[in-house]
Amino acid sequence: MNHPQNSLFPELPIYPRLPPVQFLGNKEGLLNWLFTFIPSSNRSQPLRFLDAFSGSGVVAFEAKRRDFLVTANDLLQCCWHTIHGLVQNSTDILTTEEVALLFSDTVQAGELMQKLFTDKFLKASETKLLDQFRANAELLPPLKRSLALAIMNRALTRKVIMGHFAHLQAINYANQPARIKRNPSIAKPLQDLFLELLPEFNQAVFSNHLSHLTYNHDTLELLTLKASYDIAYFDPPYCLSHGDYQAFYHLLETFSRYWTDKTFIGGTNRYHPPLATGFDKKATVIPALQRLFDLSREIPLWVISYNDRSYPSVTEFEKLLRNTSRQVTVHRFEYLNSRGGKGSVKGSSEILWVAERL
């Protein structure tokens, strides 16, 4: 494939943008840089684009905006709801009547969120609202359900200081006037946050006249399915560098899946056992990367995000890549400001590997 020059940015169709995200390691600020290393697609002959670790969904959504035929995947269901509701979904928005249904009382609601998270992250009235909302979401068609859960998950990250659930300061901070002044969202009712976000998410639903697919699988499992891609974008968890997304977003995953077969441990009531993945632990990450590359050997172009504070080191990672007998180039984006998490602090660099099949 011929790659565009770094200084050239393809002209985009007039499509909506994804609402601003709040997710550790997201690539929202790097999209133009990242896509300079990816060939352009077009609607008449679209390139098949795999986003295998979609996380916040920003890369999959941007690929849809750029007229790729997108397949997106994430192990976490809370992340899958975003790509299912905004990438696979091209037409379905939430109506006023459906929003009223979501916030209505129902005897079908469980008490999981109330039992686990009352007075840890949220007040009792808010955890009860989440239980009611989750039960009512089951009454919606699948794409609308995902859109609704994606919006509520986004509201929850706005409600909690730092946007994640690996700390227990949320209620304390929400009662401090100085912190509220800096970040008013932490003191707003969840329903109000949802209603503020609703128009942005509804407006982000669009069609590029292609049919996209989304999955909620382990990436290695996904790659055993019979499918062909022109480009694979890999953004695995950065081991030893904010790689444990299940610790950060356990509340969202519990809300999304509404677990009935888990125990809940620690001060934050994190679900246990965690979902199995080889990419977030030092003992398993290298075999997982080798398996990833082996399963992807038929995909012509790999574009891989990494970070220079992760394990394995950049040098070791490059050796793994070159053992695949591909043409490999490396590009760096230095963070000038800290963005949260050890992998995106000032002075660290985002690494982008471009590995093309010979």
Higher-confidence position of 185 and 219: 219
pLDDT for 173 equals 83
pLDDT at residue 11 in the model: 58
User: 326 — phi, psi (to 5°)?
Assistant: -110, 160
Average pLDDT over residues 32-40: 95
Q: Which of 238, 248, 293 is nearest to 274 (CA)?
A: 248
pTM of the model as a whole: 0.92
Peptide bond between residue 312 and the one before it cis (omega within 30 degrees of 0): yes
**Residue range 153-174: mean pLDDT, rounded:** 89
Q: How confident is the model at residue 346 (pLDDT cuts 50, 70, 90)?
A: low
Q: Are strands 326-334 and 301-307 parallel, antiparallel or unpaired?
A: unpaired
pLDDT for residue 342:
43
CA nearest to 239, candidates 314, 300, 296, 185? 314
Q: Work out the number of other CB atoms within 10 angstroms of the CB of residue 58.
A: 24
Mean pLDDT of 17-35: 91
> Phi-psi bin for 67: left (phi > 0), alpha (psi -120 to 50), beta?
left
**pLDDT-derived band of residue 334, with 50, 70 and 90 as boundaries?**
confident
pLDDT of residue 40: 95
pLDDT at residue 128 in the model: 98
Band of pLDDT at residue 340, cut at 50, 70 and 90:
very low
Mean pLDDT of 66-70: 97
Cβ–Cβ under 8 Å, residues 227 and 167: no
Q: In this structure, what token pair is assigned to residue 109?
A: 């609601």
Q: Give the pLDDT band of residue 345 (cuts 50, 70, 90).
A: low
Identify the bridge partners of residue 213 per DSSP, sorted by sequence position.
71
Distance CA 106, CA 88 (A): 29
Return the minimum-mean-pLDDT range out of 35-44, 280-289, 343-352: 343-352
The domains found in the chain, sorted by start residue, are 1-91+213-239+280-358 (3.40.50.150), 92-204+244-277 (no CATH)
Peptide bond into 274 cis (omega under 30): no
- Distance from C-alpha of 99 to C-alpha of 97, rounded to nearest angstrom: 5
**Is the CB of residue 354 less than 8 Å from the CB of residue 37?**
yes
**What's the mean pLDDT when you consider all of the chain?**
91
**Which has the minimum average pLDDT: 8-22, 71-85, 114-128, 250-264?**
8-22
* pLDDT tens column, 179-215: 888 888 888 999 999 999 999 999 999 999 999 999 9
Other Cβ atoms less than 10 A from the Cβ of 354: the count is 18
Q: What is the pLDDT of residue 348?
A: 73
Write out pLDDT tens, residues 275-331: 999 999 999 999 999 999 999 999 999 999 999 989 999 999 999 999 999 999 999
pLDDT of residue 163: 87
- Window from 24-38, 171-185, 253-267 with minimum mean pLDDT: 171-185
Residue 336 scores a pLDDT above 90 = no
Average pLDDT over residues 18-38: 91
Task: Give the pLDDT of residue 176.
Answer: 87
pLDDT at 7 over 80: no
Residue 9 has pLDDT above 60, yes or no: no
Per-residue pLDDT at 333 exceeds 80: yes
Beta bridge partners of 72: 51, 214
- Whether 6 shows a pLDDT value over 90: the answer reads no
> For residue 338, what pLDDT band results from cuts at 50, 70 and 90?
very low
Specify the pLDDT at position 174: 84
